[in-house]
Amino acid sequence: MVPRSLLNLNTFRVDHSCRSISYTNSSNDLVDLAKTINKPIIVGGGSNILFVDDVDRDVIVINHEGIEVIKTTNKYVYIRVQAGTNWHQLVLWAIENDLGGIENLSLIPGKCGAAPMQNIGAYGVELKNVFVELECVKIGTGERWVLHKEDCLFGYRESIFKGELKDKVIIDNITLRLTTNSNHTLNRDYGIINDKLDDLKVKKPTIKDISDVIIDIRKSKLPDPKEYPNAGSFFKNPIISTVKLKSLKSTYKYIPSYVIDNDSVKVPAGWLIDKAGWKGKQINGVGTYKHQALVIVNHSARSGKEILEFSKLIQDDVLEKYGIKIEREVNVY
């Protein structure tokens, strides 16, 4: 078998190889591939993956697309979306149809089948807020399986698919519940959204206004992977105890934090990394993005190993400086 290049299947643009690449054009293809390919690596848009070396495994790229309305009520519209559908195209479809719920998740790269993996989230909204169920296929048998929201164990950038079901199932389609415009409450809690709307003098924003504002913010802050190869936030924001926060405040008076519950807070990993002196730093062609230290950019590294090594230097330094262990968000193969 001739090894195949993964260059166009990961937004870090590392050129490692795999044994073979197959594509799904339909749900039936997915079942056939799940039955016949042993231990495949599943790839959607490759925007949350780091290949550290050549992999001696077969890759299945999820390409089958489609959005179908399956039920409507006065208040809600239920849609089934095939795993290969581009996530942002789905957001645009919802806006065109005047349906609310995912406008805060505008411009997240990747495909819908990967969205449950880490319960994608941004600007105060997570996939789980609109998620109903998904259908997946078991690797090895091709058996179909429906998992409801509570089965997916969604957490902060977490789900059962990153834990117990890792490499065991392939997500075929997801069902979401969107809200009709007149029943929808916009989520503007994330400070910068309101600031932007005020700047634009938008008094009564629509679903589309929220999406437009978020698209604008994201375009101005985040590196386009085509120009700066990256996989978004490399690490998750750590959740620490309020006691720990208090002790950190004696050294870092201005450390930002967001309340999770009475005993814990979320601290932006980007702030910790930035204050530790890593913003814009580069080693062996790998660096943090100049405007957001949480994003690691592959400037010229030829191997994913160099990216992983760079990320470990940051993890070690953050642990040493703050006593906080930051976990990777990106999926490493």
Q: Give me the DSSP letters along 149-207.
A: GGGGT-BTTB-GGGTTTTTTEEEEEEEEEEEEGGG------SHHHHHHHHHTT-SS--H
Min separation Cβ 329 and ligand FAD, Å: 8
Shortest Å distance, C-beta 249 to ligand FAD: 28
Classified as helix, coil or strand, 235 is strand
Tell me the C-alpha distance between 315 and 136, whole Å: 34
Q: How far is the CB of 179 from ligand FAD (least distance, A)?
A: 21
Pairing outcome for strands 49-50 and 331-332: parallel
Smallest distance from ligand FAD to CB 35, Å: 15
Comparing CB distances to ligand FAD, the nearer of 13 and 281 is 13
Q: Which of 121, 232, 117, 235 is nearest to 166 (CA)?
A: 117
Catalytic-labelled residue, pool 80, 157, 177, 188: 157
| Partner whose binding site includes residue 237, from ligand FAD, ligand NAP, none (CB under 5 to 8 Å by kind) | ligand NAP
Active site residue 218: no
Write down the least CB distance from residue 133 to ligand NAP, Å.
Answer: 23
The single residue of 126, 133, 306, 329 carrying the catalytic annotation is 329
Q: Which residue is nearest to ligand NAP (CB)?
A: 232
Q: Tell me whether residue 11 or residue 257 sits nearer to ligand FAD (CB atom).
A: 11
233, 257, 303, 311: the catalytic one is 233
Partner whose footprint covers residue 178, from ligand FAD, ligand NAP, none (CB < 5 to 8 Å by kind): none
267 binds, among ligand NAP, ligand FAD, none (CB under 5 to 8 A by kind): none
Q: Any idea which residue has 């979320």 for tokens?
A: 266
Measured CA to CA in angstroms, residue 217 lies from 90, 120, 126 at distances of 19, 18, 18
* Phi-psi label, residue 167: left if phi above 0, alpha if psi -120 to 50, beta otherwise: left
The entry of ligand FAD, ligand NAP, none that residue 190 binds, CB within 5 to 8 Å by partner kind = ligand NAP
Q: Which residues bind ligand NAP (CB under 6 A)?
A: 121-124, 189-192, 221-222, 232-233, 237, 258, 268, 270, 292, 329
What does the block give as tokens for 208?
Answer: 């589309």
Contacts with ligand FAD, residue ranges (CB under 6 A): 11, 41-49, 62, 83, 108-111, 113-115, 117-118, 120-122, 170-171, 222, 225, 230-232, 331
Minimum CB–partner distance for residue 210 and ligand FAD (Å): 14
Nearer to ligand NAP, 179 or 233 (CB): 233
CA angle 120–45–191, rounded 5-degree value: 30
30 touches which of ligand FAD, ligand NAP, none (CB within 5 to 8 A by kind)?
none
User: What does the chain come to in residues?
Assistant: 333
Burial label for 73, CB within 10 Å (0-12, 13-18, 19+), is exposed
233 a catalytic residue:
yes
Find, among 152, 76, 167, 69, the residue nearest to 115 by Cα.
Answer: 152
By a kind-dependent CB cut-off of 5 to 8 A, residue 45 interacts, out of ligand FAD, ligand NAP, none, with ligand FAD
Q: Which residues are catalytic?
A: 157, 233, 329
